[in-house]
Amino acid sequence: MKRDKVKELRSKSAEELEVITADLKEKLEKLNFDLKSGKTASIKDIRRIRKEIAVTLTVINEKKHD
């Protein structure tokens, strides 16, 4: 994830970040299902989504502690 994207996430409210995290988790669930069912799902996409979830959760925690 690029630094510009992280700066953009930091400018959002905690509620918006929760919505983004929920959306990313849904995407991850769908990709994992596609992978297990034999459809073509890229491992690279799964890894990228997991990292994006981690970054958004980190930003949420930063906001809670500030």
pLDDT of residue 47 exceeding 80, the answer is yes
Q: Which domains does the chain have, with CATH numbers?
A: 3-65 (1.10.287)
The pLDDT of residue 40 is 73
Residue 38: φ, ψ to 5°: 95, 0
Q: How far apart are alpha carbons 11 and 18 in whole angstroms?
A: 13
Residue at 18: amino acid letter = E
Neighbours of 39 (CB within 10 A): 9
Are the C-beta atoms of 9 and 59 separated by less than 8 Å? yes
Confidence bin at 60 (pLDDT 50/70/90): very high
Q: Per residue in 12-46, pLDDT tens?
A: 999 999 999 999 999 999 999 999 998 877 899 99
